[in-house]
Amino acid sequence: MSVVSVENLTKRYGTVVGIEDVSLSVEEGEVYCLVGPNGSGKTTLLNILLDFVRPTDGDVTVCGHDATTDSLAVREHVGVVPEGYGVYDRLSGRQHVAFAIDAKGADDEPIDVLDRVDLVDVADQWAGEYSKGMAKRLILGTALVGDPDLLVFDEPFSGLDPTAFAQLLDIIEEERDRGTTVFLSTHLFGPVEHVGDSVGILLDGELVTERDVDRFRESEESLESLFLMFAGEDGESREPDETDRGTEVVA
């Protein structure tokens, strides 16, 4: 069963195209990575999933619920690390987590959640005193509250120090092993090759190709070379091809 189903999705901001006619699906239990440069439409796509942004055209279903008309039901199943991850300056880390627990009607203990993201020592400090990386880990912690079926992470690796980076990879693997589906966006290739199951490349608002990440583990081909083939080394993108996920790459 598809946890996320996106069909012919288009979003225009006035005359500016956010994403154009994107279709994809994320299957239960997989880690799907959306890769693309800044401004390629990754955030727009994830924001439509969460109803932060309303689509111009197309259909999006998340965990069996329409993302636009039934967003509350969607968000009962989802844990989110949004692109901008603001925290409340005058609430403590513990209070942030407690708020997420209350909002989700979950029964986690705040301190256990903070332990997973290594923030126990600063649990009662105001989040306004946290570094950027700590704030991001806090938001990551709140996303894990209530054992969601789907994790939506927008650029989760940016702003993390190497330790937190490795911890996040571990958390994603743990969550996948528990059967959680992960849909994340990133402009980095390393984490995709490490934890990804599927990857979709988004360029100028169009999904140009999808692949099983296993292919890169088995062959000499790297995600980077695939990406550059589509993006062009000069950054000029070529016409998208019709390749579906898992089909051969014609180099």
- Contact residues for other proteins (CB under 8 A)? 13, 47, 50-54, 71-72, 75-76, 78-80, 82-88, 90-91, 95-96, 99-100, 102-105, 139, 142-143, 152
Q: In which residue are the tokens 């292919």 written?
A: 215
The DSSP bridge partners found for residue 182 are 31, 151
Cα 79 to the center of its chain, rounded Å: 10
For other proteins, which is the closer residue by CB, 79 or 200?
79
Cβ neighbours of residue 245 closer than 8 Å, sequence gap 6 or more: 198, 200, 209, 210, 211, 212
Rounded least distance, CB 28 to other proteins, Å: 21
Minimum CB separation from other proteins for residue 232, in Å? 28
Please, which residue, 59 or 193, has the CB nearer to other proteins? 59
Nearer to other proteins, 85 or 230 (CB): 85
Q: Which is nearer to other proteins, 100 or 192 (CB)?
A: 100
Q: Nearest 5 degrees, angle CA 210-CA 226-CA 155?
A: 65
Nearest residue (CB) to other proteins, 75 versus 176 = 75
